[in-house]
Chains A and B, each alone.
Chain A
Amino acid sequence: MTGHQVVLTTTDGARLELCCPPGGTVLEAAAEAGAALPASCKQGTCGSCHATVTSGEYDLGPHSALALPPDELPHGGVLLCRTVPCGPLTAELPYPQSRILYGGVPERAAEVESITTVARDTVRLVVTLTDSPDCQFDAGQFVELELPGTGARRAYSLANTGNWEGRMEFYIRLRPDGAFSGPLAERVRPGDPLTVHGPQGAFGLHETGLRPRWLLAGGTGLAPLLAMARQMAEWQDPQPARLFLGANTPADLFGDPELKAVAAELPSFQYEFTVREADPGWTGPVGTPADLLARALSAHTGPAPDLYVCGPPPMVDAVRRAAPDCQVFHERFLAT
């Protein structure tokens, strides 16, 4: 079969050469070649298959402006699940080769260990792999969770770090009509089986970065950033680190004991909470994580930090506007 030659290059210089059939997307061609690239929704709405085209013509199919902001289009910004080459194409992938799953996305058997309410409509779900305790992933990655028999798979970021005890930890916002979180709230109990697809995803710490690392989370966007902070503590990474977490109200906040534990292990680590709507008992700042960031940057005298952001698309965009001089690594999430 004839097709268009596509060459993808990872941040660590690995080249992936593909033949993309006419009318097909780059993401499909990579999967056909046995390489599952980081991607989640595969319908142009989540942004997790973001890449930058460096040469070649292509058609970009329908997608959400929240997943791929219009200002990125002139610079070759694309979503590979919506990119249909019209001829030879080269593109840069924003992650190392290790994030590409050769042979497809792993499928693992697991069971629910615990479900704990940590804030209004928010639970911590702990899952244990039952097929093997080998539970390796990079901080920032996600898996898709599937309840057997429902066919519904939903992506959630891992909040803990890779381990050899088969343990996975998630923070999940419960939505009555959520395909996964609905049943989770209603009927799932400890000991129930789950299927785990992954780990997947390109979001992660820039391992060779020399700059301070500032982590900005909105709501359950804390999960991958908590994983990063925990990894930094476990590995004793030397970069100074701060975390800013925003929620709608104080009742929606969570994660204080976990972040306190990180601070005890990582002396340079500081964290702050903010809410959009205070209640009478709230004494902390009112606003968004981007507001906290703007304030912190104005008082900051050291080198410009690298920003790691996870939250709803408007929050990610607000952070980018607040810190135009900083390198921003982000994961946008949308309600599912």
Chain B
Amino acid sequence: MFCYQCEQTDRTGTVPGCAGAIGNCGKDAATSDLQDLLIHAAKGVAQYAAEARALGAADDEADRFLLYSVFTTLTNVNFNPSRFGAMIQQAVAHRDRARAAYEQAARAAGREPRELTGPAAWQPAADPDALLKQAADVRVDAGLALVGPDVVGLRSLHLYALKGICAYAHHAHVLGKESAEVFAGVEDALAYLAGEPTDAAELLERAVGLGRLNLTVMELLDAANTGAYGPQQPTAVRTTSVEGKAILVSGHDLHDLEQLLEQTAGQGINVYTHGEMLPAHAYPLLKAHPHLVGNYGGAWQDQQREFAAFPGPILMTSNCIIEPHVSYRRRIFTTGPVGWPGVRHLSEGDFTPVLQAARALPGFPAEPEPAPEKLLTVGFGADAVLAVADRVTAAVRSGAIRHFFLVGGCDGPTPGRDYYTEFAVGAPADTMVLTLGCAKYRFNGHDFGEIGGIPRLLDLGQCNDTHSAIRIAVALAEAFECEVNDLPLTLVLSWTEQKAVAVLLALLALGIRNIHLGPTLPGFLTPDLVDALVQRFDLRVIGDPAADLAAALEPAGQ
């Protein structure tokens, strides 16, 4: 295996990357190799699907498969090699159908169909051992000796951003929002990679283009979430337990949560959110369920300890699963793109086994002396913030608000992430801290106080809610009649996996400069590529929190 798609990647060698029997995320070599082969097969699907689409024979079913299958290869989503073996076969079937549609459309248009090469012509070996051997030719650093590390790094940047885009687009799809533009963009990007591009300048331009595609996807996802469940509303969420049977839901998929809430209605079972599911409490149609009682635990990397202590079953709906400990392996369930060998997968939206487990397990006991109720306030999506835009802009003009910091992204287990705690907590009292993603767990227990009745810490939602942050920034820029880069706003991002890569490119595509990124820069970016991004976008790596804060607050021009 060779994988360097996430922030945890092994950096002990001369070249960053996990290349042993098991990656730092827990993915074994066979699963990693099969993921590479699935991506290769997906490129083949995209090649013919793009040709068919150009002739008016779009195959949306193939595109939905692309979104789902590429999503499964994200960090901490699916660790089950047999699922990848099956998806490779499914990809071949989708490709052959797209090919037939293309050939028929070409002939109908009076043209002789072309025979595409590369992944479009690839055949997976039937024998599993032979199939795994094929991975060496298609892994992410294939062709390194021929094209050099910069081109391989840029192709990786493309692929990983595309993985994040597919994940977000799949989330929108399950809520009924699709777009031909997105389907076409995904096909185009995969087909481009299938051609093994070598022009570094073109690769960089197209990477920015992927950022623009992701802006469209994030807008679509925002419309999907708010369309299905109403705009987020500021909501205080209980973080202490309630006596009774309990189910914990983790991951990002609001649709899965909704189905579970419907199936548990009136059953005497309380539902708790975990990790990135916390913002669900802010959606009117989700929080209307009285048995959605609170939030349990913190960010994903603490799940082994937290899940072991939870007295009920756990449902994992999307990234970020890590190896289930023996103590809870038989009471954790996966759904959607998620998988772990030996963990029960529920694929049809029927969560009956989860309910049965909840009834059989003890749940939270009655506390003789209940702990004081602790609350977190969430729900400051764009609609909620823009509703008080006049007060915010007035506070800026009066000097009550000096600066905005957006401190967000993914949390993770690697060292150096205390930076985000120190940065957010250290932000002066006349500054606002906006946050999203699970990095917020580093500081959302801190009392930030208020400015003029507006909470200083505004939780915008999941990483899936990046569009909210963009809407707020654009609205502020309009209010002050300036560019986003001219606002008193500093973006401080924490990354772990490929959704963050897609978000980063979206922000760069908007022309936002001076983004602080950490805790380290991606392993797939070579020093030359880092230089290029620094020169073009003033991208910077996080340093000392106090110094970075001070620098951000210096008046422009000093």
Measured CB to CB, the residues of A under 8 A from B are: 97-98, 132-134, 136, 138, 162-166, 207-211, 234-239, 302-304
A27 to chain B, nearest CB (A): 21
Q: Given B80, B126, B330, which contacts A136 in the complex, CB threshold below 8 Å?
A: B330
Cβ-Cβ contact count across A and B, 8 Å cutoff: 58
What are the 8 tightest A-B residue pairs by CB atom distance, in nearest-first order? A238-B86, A164-B356, A210-B128, A207-B341, A164-B360, A136-B330, A133-B360, A303-B127
Given contacts A133-B359, A163-B356, A303-B126, contact A235 B345 (CB under 8 A): yes
Q: Is the CB of B360 within 8 A of A132?
A: yes
Chain A residues within 8 Å of B430, by CB: none
Q: Is the CB of B30 within 8 A of A210?
A: yes
Per-position 1/0 for B51-86, Cβ under 8 A of A: 000000000000000000000000000001111011
Does more than half of chain B's interface fall in helix, strand or loop, or is it mixed?
Answer: helix
Check if B449 is an interface residue, CB within 8 A of chain A.
no
A287 to chain B, nearest CB (A): 28
Q: Is the CB of B360 within 8 A of A134?
A: yes
Chain B residues within 8 Å of A236, by CB: 345, 347
Chain B residues within 8 Å of A302, by CB: 126
CB-CB nearest in chain B for A96? B342
- Docked complex Cα distance between A302 and B89 (Å): 13
Q: Is the CB of A238 within 8 A of B81?
A: no
Q: Is the CB of A98 within 8 A of B360?
A: no
Q: Given B81, B345, B347, which contacts A210 in the complex, CB threshold below 8 Å?
A: B81
Per-position 1/0 for B101-131, Cβ under 8 A of A: 0000000000000000000000000111001
- Docked complex Cα distance between A248 and B108 (Å): 62
Check if B383 is an interface residue, CB within 8 A of chain A.
no
Chain B residues within 8 Å of A163, by CB: 353, 356
Q: Is the CB of B360 within 8 A of A208?
A: no
Q: Is the CB of A165 within 8 A of B80?
A: no
B86 to chain A, nearest CB (A): 3
- Docked complex Cα distance between A162 and B361 (Å): 14
Q: Is the CB of A303 within 8 A of B128?
A: yes
Given contacts A133-B360, A162-B330, contact A209 B126 (CB under 8 A): no
Q: Is the CB of B344 within 8 A of A208?
A: no
- Docked complex Cα distance between A136 and B326 (Å): 12
Chain A residues within 8 Å of B331, by CB: 136
- 9 inter-chain pairs at a CB distance below 8 angstroms, sorted by A residue, are A164-B357, A164-B359, A165-B360, A207-B80, A208-B82, A210-B82, A210-B85, A238-B82, A239-B82
- Docked complex Cα distance between A97 and B325 (Å): 11
Check if B329 is an interface residue, CB within 8 A of chain A.
yes
- Docked complex Cα distance between A313 and B341 (Å): 30
Given contacts A134-B360, A164-B360, A238-B85, contact A208 B28 (CB under 8 A): yes
Identify the interface centre among B326, B356, B360: most chain A CB within 10 Å of its CB. Answer: B360
Chain A residues within 8 Å of B342, by CB: 98, 138, 207
A301 to chain B, nearest CB (A): 8
- Docked complex Cα distance between A133 and B357 (Å): 9
Chain A residues within 8 Å of B345, by CB: 235-236
Given contacts A98-B326, A162-B330, A235-B344, contact A208 B359 (CB under 8 A): no
- Docked complex Cα distance between A164 and B333 (Å): 13
- Docked complex Cα distance between A93 and B229 (Å): 51
CB-CB nearest in chain B for A236? B347
CB-CB nearest in chain A for B324? A98
Chain B residues within 8 Å of A162, by CB: 330
